[in-house]
Amino acid sequence: MKKKVLVFIDHDLIIRHFIKSGAFRELEKSFDATYIFNIDETTDKKWIFTDIDRLGLPRVLRTGVTRQRMGSWHKLFAASVLRNQRGTENYLPRKHLMAEISGKWHTEYYALLSMPGIFPLFRRRFLARQGMYQPLVDLIREENPDVVIHPSVLAGYFVNELPFICKAMNIPLVMLMNSWDNPSTKALGTSQPDKLVVWGEQTRQHAIKYMQMPESNVLAFGAAQFQVYREPVKETDEELRTMFQVPKGVPILLYGGASKGAHESRYLKLLDDLIETGAIPRCHVIYRPHPWRGELGEGETGFFDLGCRHISMDPFMESYYRRATTSGQFGIELADYTITRKLLHLVSAVISPLSTILLESTLLGKPVLMFFPREDMGRTGGRHTQLALNMVHFADFWGAPGVNVCDKESEFAEKCRVLMAQANDQVIHDGLLRHARHFLITDGPTYGERIRQLADSLAKVPK
């Protein structure tokens, strides 16, 4: 008989990055795989909008951990983050970011709970009061898996429940990080998994230092969603220009939008005017809105009212943008990474306020420009961006040749000229490829193959 694996999913983002990428197809060859989705009927603030029954998975179950139950873990989460990071250079930036979200006084309370003489007592009493979530205990006991896997942003419905339960039941648990900042901003308050899978050497070191994971329990496998960058693009330049509806004969730049309401329409208009006046070399820009950018900010002009002459929207994101900016659409856009891969192959360079697409560009050796003027740091979303810039996961990224930063509008044209010159520099291209390897494993066995091998090594003896 095949061994049995349970894969717990609680967010559309995880569906996009792990299910739609096919990350678990190799796993399904060796294991009877059951996918368990959390469907919370107690709130309108849902995390899963995807039609689960249309994902083509071998077996699906549903559970219903509530939003109230999930939120009840926050005090332990916040205190654990501050306790783990106390004494590191990331402590104050992380604390400031926490205060931006939770408020100053709540954060000071969490800092008090994180103190060495207080935290162990607080944690012990908290866990005794919280207890295990019995419906989830019953489900796991009935399924009796050989191994449990949880891809996660290291926050959410399952991240505190599963370590608690799996440790008590002596079931191997593997957690898979989803996002670049996960190991440097998150903490596991109930227990640690048997293995934490991260992207590369940077996040491996972050998990050890900032999550206090044992070195032997942190494995760098790359990122499920970025496996597509290993695949060659089959379309010609002409075919890609037709696909993305851009002109022939000019370099193409990408402007990747932000997720935190950065009033990017103003930046797009600025960029368009610079091209029109000849302040930067002739080119065409594709604007790709962030897949969960949300509605327009206060006073923000919609893209289609800007009258841009040299900027067009990624046609694969236009429908989403119109919905998000006019109807306040809930959820995120499950944008196809194969399309993003083709888009980044087409463009010469990338401009973005602050987004993982900057890292994605370096995977292909394409230069980038992070543009976010200081004068906008006080706007909606700007404060968050300012704080995020100080986080350690970005710190290693800046400074390499081809990774450019501009925080003044007056310097934007010059920085764009430098960026476009770098796009034709083979030394810059090769250096960016080497730079990217610090953040992401890009060679060797695929992500799916590594996960299957890990599950095989951890799973109990077949029943």
161-174 pLDDT, tens digit per residue, is 999 999 999 999 99
- The answer to whether residues 263 and 300 touch, using CB atoms and an 8 Å cutoff, is yes
Q: Are 161 and 307 in the same domain? A: no
Number of domains within the chain: 2
Determine, yes or no, domain membership for 324. yes
Whether residues 315 and 344 fall in one domain = yes
Q: Which of 274, 254, 266 is nearest to 379 (CA)?
A: 266
Do the domain assignments include residue 76?
no
Q: What is the DSSP letter of 86?
A: T
**If pLDDT is split at 50, 70 and 90, which confidence band does 301 have?**
confident
Is 231 domain-assigned?
Answer: no
Spatial separation of the C-alpha atoms in residues 338 and 336, rounded to whole Å: 5
Residues 27-63: tens digit of each pLDDT? 999 999 999 999 998 988 889 989 999 999 999 999 9
* 227 band by pLDDT with thresholds 50, 70 and 90: very high
Residues 25, 161, single domain; the answer is: yes
Residue 77 lies in a domain: no
Mean pLDDT (whole number) for 406-421: 94
Residue 93 lies in a domain: no
Confidence of residue 309 (pLDDT cuts 50, 70, 90): very high
Res. 382: pLDDT tops 60 = no
Residues 134 and 254 in one domain: no
Do residues 299 and 272 make contact, with C-beta atoms less than 8 angstroms apart?
Answer: no
The answer to whether 324 touches 296, Cβ cutoff 8 Å, is: no
Examine the pLDDT at 463 and tell me if it is beyond 50. Answer: no
Q: Which helix (H) or strand (E) holds 436?
A: helix 426-436
Neighbouring C-beta atoms of residue 38, cutoff 10 Å: 23
C-alpha 423 chain-centroid distance: 26
Q: What are phi and psi of 33, to 5 degrees?
A: -100, 130
Cα radius of gyration rounded to whole Å, the chain: 23
Sign of CA dihedral 86, 353, 225, 157: positive
Domain assignment present for 13: yes
**Same-domain check for residues 334 and 192:** no
Same domain, 311 and 346: yes
State whether 208 and 252 are in the same domain.
no
Tell me, yes or no, whether 99 lies in a domain: no
Is there a single domain that holds both residue 58 and residue 167? yes
Whether residue 360 is found in the same domain as residue 449: no
- 268 found inside a domain: yes
Whether residues 164 and 255 share a domain: the answer is no
Q: Which pLDDT tens digit goes with each residue over 248-296?
A: 999 999 999 876 655 788 899 999 999 999 999 999 999 999 877 777 7
Residue 280: what are its φ and ψ, rounded to 5°? -125, 155
Specify whether 425 is located in the same domain as 285. Answer: yes
Assign residue 404 the CATH number of its domain. Answer: 3.40.50.2000
Same domain, 159 and 253: no
Q: Using an 8 Å Cβ cutoff, are 404 and 412 in contact?
A: no
Backbone φ, ψ for residue 113 (5° rounding): -65, -25
Domain containing 363 equals 237-436
Contacts from 296-299 at CB under 8 Å and sequence distance 24+? 296/265, 296/325, 297/261, 297/262, 297/263, 297/379, 297/380, 297/381, 298/380, 299/263
Give the tens place of pLDDT for each residue, 419-438.
Answer: 999 999 999 999 999 999 99
